[in-house]
Amino acid sequence: MEGQKWEELNMDILVNVLRRVGMESLLLDVPYVCKSWYKASREPHPDRGFAERLAMTYQENLSVTASVKLILNRSCGHATIIKLPNYCTEEALEYVANQCPRLKVLDVGDFNMSIEAIIPQFISKWKSLEMMRLGKFHMKEVLPEIGLHCNNFIWLSAPETYIGKDEAAAIVTSLPQLKYLDLHGASFEKETLVMILQGCKQLVHLDIRDCWGFHGVDAEILKLASHIPAFMWEGSIGIPEIESSYVHDLKLDHELFCDQINHRTAFMI
């Protein structure tokens, strides 16, 4: 009597079985057996994610660049969502640019400050880009390129970032169609927030929870944000005695770091 076929197994069971095979088989063999195996090979594993398991398997034997190439080759040019690995290399980023013409979502990550400096030269390759999460720096260099080449861009996330007047101006002038803006935990003054609210008329979502540098939302801010259906502002902090000097010092630290990164990048390129 014919038993149940492998492709007819419950997906949770199939995932549990396939997580026990070797990484090379999971990458190079399993996805090409049938559609159900392909889907199961892409499911998050109960004990750890695919990327973590890949790192645990190869560790020092597989560089960041090699792992990026390996995964993107598997996507056959169809990848639409990319989160750059920590300490991503310029070579890996260039590979992403060349191999992902359909990219819609790019997460730069938290430990790729020098990579942010060279992202502008690749933006023109991602004309379908809709969403990006930036790190702490280089916003005013990246956003004009997005505004020039990415007509469908609607979502910017820049949590825990310093937003000065230059950064706010870049948001307003480069992204007039912006609908979603996440500045959760960022640092900025009230005047900067006013610039954004006055300039970004298409916003439907603005997150400024737990921000530093101003005393929360007052009547003026609420009026300017009245057109935004999802306006989240709870938890902002501004202490009268230290607010001005805190933001000033943070701005100086931000500018100094950007200068250092730009200097290093010039030698890297």
Cα 58 from Cα 67, distance rounded (Å): 9
Q: Which position has the higher pLDDT, 262 or 56?
A: 56
Check: pTM over 0.85? Answer yes or no: no
Q: Are 123 and 146 in contact (CB under 8 A)?
A: yes
Q: Which position has the higher pLDDT, 162 or 235?
A: 162
pLDDT digits 0-9 by tens, 61-113: 457 788 788 778 777 778 899 998 888 889 999 999 999 999 999 999 877 77
Q: Are 180 and 204 in contact (CB under 8 A)?
A: yes
Q: pLDDT-derived band of residue 254, with 50, 70 and 90 as boundaries? A: very low
Question: Mean pLDDT throughout 147-176?
Answer: 94
- In the structure encoding, which two tokens stand for residue 77, read together? 């040019």
pLDDT surpasses 60 at 255? no
> DSSP string spanning 55-119?
HHHHGGGS-HHHHHHHHHHHHTT---EEEPPTT--HHHHHHHHHH-TT--EEE--SS-HHHHTTG
Mean pLDDT of the chain: 79
pLDDT surpasses 50 at 261? no
pLDDT at res. 4 = 65
- In the structure encoding, which two tokens stand for residue 33, read together? 């057996």
pLDDT surpasses 70 at 231? yes
Residues of the chain above pLDDT 70, percent = 72
Q: Which residues, in sequence order, are bridge partners of residue 107?
A: 83, 133
pLDDT surpasses 50 at 240? no
Task: Enumerate residues 6+ apart whose C-beta is below 8 A from 153.
Answer: 129, 130, 131, 132, 146, 147, 175, 177, 178
Cα 167 from Cα 194, distance rounded (Å): 13
CB atoms within 10 A of CB 140: 17
pLDDT surpasses 70 at 47? no
Question: Mean pLDDT throughout 118-133?
Answer: 95
Q: pLDDT-derived band of residue 13, with 50, 70 and 90 as boundaries? A: confident
Which position has the token pair 């306006």? 231
pLDDT at res. 132 = 96
Q: pLDDT-derived band of residue 183, with 50, 70 and 90 as boundaries? A: very high
